[in-house]
Amino acid sequence: MNAIHDLKQVAPATSLYANRQKVYTKDVYGPVRSIKSAIMVACLAIYYTLPWLRWQRGPGVPDQAILLDLWHERFYVFNIVLWPQDIYLLTGLLVLAAVSLFLVTSLFGRVWCGYACPQTVWTDLFMTVERLIEGDRNTRMKRDAGPWTRDKILRKFATHWVWFWVAFWTGGAWIMYFVNAPVVVVEFWTGRASSEVYAMTLLFTLTTYLLAGWAREQVCTFMCPWPRFQSAMLDDQSLVVTYQAWRGEKRGHGKGEAAEQFGDCVDCFACVHVCPTGIDIRDGIQLECINCGLCADACNHVMEKRDRAPWLITWDTLTRQKAKAAGRTEKLHLLRPRTLIYCAVLTAGIALLVYGVLTRATTNLSIIHDRAPLFIALQKGDIRNGYTIKLANKLQLPAQYDLTVSGLPALQLALPEQAPGFGNQAHLNVPAGEVGTFRLLVQGHIASPAGSRPLLHFTLHNATTGEARDYTAPFFTRAEQD
């Protein structure tokens, strides 16, 4: 029993879980806040207006500049129309996005997290709404701790009401990237939109409301994988939001001689109070820090009041901070092997992607041999094989194709569903942006040895653009002559 009592001393009964400490952010102004606000407004403006941008593509094709038409399996990006076969370009785009994220992070830390990430942008927007309706940090804290008065109920209701509509607008705008915006707006409000549209709008409304209104910094700290592996992108030369400890310590304030022992930091917690993730930047670089730099703005005001140099909290590298602490100055190394490699990968990737977009096939051809019958014996001893042609015309204009075949002597082609009669060529017409399906018959007098399976080489020539495509398909014949 003694041992257990000893254990109790060492390991007190603690829970593995901790309740969230609600973060009450204080309003702040300054250059960093202005830049952050400008980027926020720009991001929101792009998000909400982009689906309304029009781009004429001709009759029968949606005129939305950016439209990811999942239902019809087409992605429209200005004058580029992508088919499901082009999905690798999207993979390329995502890879490039990841590499640029690596590059920016290795240069300037998690600026993506602090400024452009949708979670940050919408949380910022929701916090602004909250501040406008419920007041600044101290007012909100006092009201939240107090009883449920009429004023508190009204203000809370108003906040959530506005949040909900912002969330609804956000969810609705998301849908517009997938269905034609002007059409879906009318359909939505007249009850004629598909149930998918309503369900998706509701889903994205709720997630926006929950993530930006309630979850906030918890998304960054607990849900997002990016902060978890950011340390692999950062090094001693990355510019990150930094508390200059060599200047700030020892923290505290006093008067007269007592002031001598203290550094610039007066331990006022202004930096903590403005932090959207509720951390103390003076603890150094940490998982929760999204590198937004609002703490720098907050600190600058304090420094100004106390006639000290601004930017006690600033953007700097670990190396430079070490040097400064030792009284030296160190140069900024933006060009270092890591960033140069990222740049090279990025440049190569962009070049590849552009090359891929410019040279992507505008015609997709497949010629599939019939499963049954494998071959047809004809009266005069000729052998005929049936195929199905799938021909995708990815151009935005109708195309005329000529199909020829080689591989066996004196082969003849026919499209029995288009025109009767065999010839040396088959003519296929496919309307703009469509897939044509044709039945093809190939016949010839085959005097091949038993058991052989010759291959036919089809050549498709686009009479409109001059593009040519090849396809190889087997030709079956009887195993032995009877």
Partner 1 sequence: MPSKIEQDAISGTDTTGHEWDGLKELNTPLPKWWLYTMYACIAWAIGMCVLYPSIPGLHSYWHGLLGYSTRVSAMAGWHEMQSMHAGAMAQIGKTPIEAVAKDPKLMETALQSGRITFANNCAPCHGTNGTGRAGYPALGDDVWLWGGKLADIETTITHGVRSADPDARQSMMPSFGTDNVLKPEQINQVADYVGAWWGVTQAGTDTTAGAKIFADNCAACHGAKGEGGRDFGAPPLNAHVHLYGGTQADIVAQVTHPRHGVMPNWNARLDPATIRSVALFVHSLGGGE
User: Kindly report the CA angle at 313 between 312 and 314, in degrees rounded to 5?
Assistant: 105
Per CB under 8 A, the list member of 2, 11, 190, 256 interacting with partner 1 is 11
What distance in Å separates the CA atoms of residue 405 and residue 471, rounded to the nearest whole number?
Answer: 9
Nearer to partner 1, 301 or 427 (CB): 427
Q: Does 372 bind partner 1 (CB under 8 A)?
A: yes
Per CB under 8 A, the list member of 386, 389, 408, 460 interacting with partner 1 is 386
Segment interacting with partner 1 (CB under 8 A) among 29-37, 242-250, 365-373, 398-406:
365-373
Q: Does 377 bind partner 1 (CB under 8 A)?
A: yes
Segment interacting with partner 1 (CB under 8 A) among 59-67, 162-170, 216-224, 371-379:
371-379
Nearer to partner 1, 101 or 389 (CB): 389
Nearer to partner 1, 13 or 358 (CB): 13
Q: Which residues contact 54 (CB under 8 A, 6 or more apart)?
A: 63, 64, 65
User: Kindly report the CA angle at 280 between 279 and 286, in degrees rounded to 5?
Assistant: 70
In contact, 294 and 137? CB cutoff 8 Å: no
Q: Does 331 bind partner 1 (CB under 8 A)?
A: no
Strand partners, 364: 392
For residue 139, give the H/E element and its range.
helix 137-145
What distance in Å separates the CA atoms of residue 390 and residue 187, rounded to the nearest whole number?
Answer: 35
Please report, as residue ranges, which positions from 310 to 329 form the binding site for partner 1 (by CB under 8 A): none
At closest approach, how far in Å is the CB of 32 from partner 1?
40
At closest approach, how far in Å is the CB of 479 from partner 1?
14
At closest approach, how far in Å is the CB of 380 from partner 1?
7
What distance in Å separates the CA atoms of residue 123 and residue 92, rounded to the nearest whole number?
Answer: 30
What distance in Å separates the CA atoms of residue 285 and residue 456, rounded to the nearest whole number?
Answer: 65
Q: Does 371 bind partner 1 (CB under 8 A)?
A: yes
Q: Does 482 bind partner 1 (CB under 8 A)?
A: yes
Nearer to partner 1, 303 or 414 (CB): 414
Nearer to partner 1, 260 or 482 (CB): 482
What distance in Å separates the CA atoms of residue 371 and residue 385, rounded to the nearest whole number?
Answer: 10
For the chain, the distance separating the N- and C-terminal CA atoms, rounded to the nearest angstrom, is 97
Total residues contacting partner 1 by CB under 8 A comes to 26
At closest approach, how far in Å is the CB of 441 from partner 1?
5
In contact, 433 and 327? CB cutoff 8 Å: no
At closest approach, how far in Å is the CB of 439 from partner 1?
7
At closest approach, how far in Å is the CB of 411 from partner 1?
15
Nearer to partner 1, 448 or 465 (CB): 448
| Per-residue interface string for the shown chain with partner 1, residues 437-476, x marking contact by CB under 8 A | --x-x-----------------------------------
Per CB under 8 A, the list member of 2, 4, 21, 195 interacting with partner 1 is 4
Q: Does 381 bind partner 1 (CB under 8 A)?
A: yes
Q: What are phi and psi of 11, to 5 degrees?
A: -115, 90
In contact, 295 and 34? CB cutoff 8 Å: no
**Token pair of 190 as six digits:** 């007249």
DSSP letters spanning 59-82: TTS--BSEEEETTTTEEEETTEEE
Nearer to partner 1, 7 or 332 (CB): 7
| Per-residue interface string for the shown chain with partner 1, residues 391-430, x marking contact by CB under 8 A | -----------------------x-xx--x----------
At closest approach, how far in Å is the CB of 394 from partner 1?
23
Q: Does 13 bind partner 1 (CB under 8 A)?
A: yes
Segment interacting with partner 1 (CB under 8 A) among 24-32, 310-318, 372-380, 462-470:
372-380
Segment interacting with partner 1 (CB under 8 A) among 125-133, 218-226, 286-294, 364-372:
364-372
Q: What are phi and psi of 24, to 5 degrees?
A: -105, 105
Nearer to partner 1, 240 or 411 (CB): 411
Long-range contacts: 87-96, Cβ < 8 Å, 24+?
88/356, 89/353, 89/356, 89/357, 89/360, 92/349, 92/352, 92/353, 92/356, 93/353, 95/349, 96/346, 96/349, 96/350, 96/353
Burial (0-12, 13-18, 19+ Cβ within 10 Å), 297: buried
Which residues of this protein are in contact with partner 1, per CB under 8 A? 4-5, 7-8, 11, 13, 370-373, 376-381, 384, 386, 414, 416-417, 420, 439, 441, 481-482
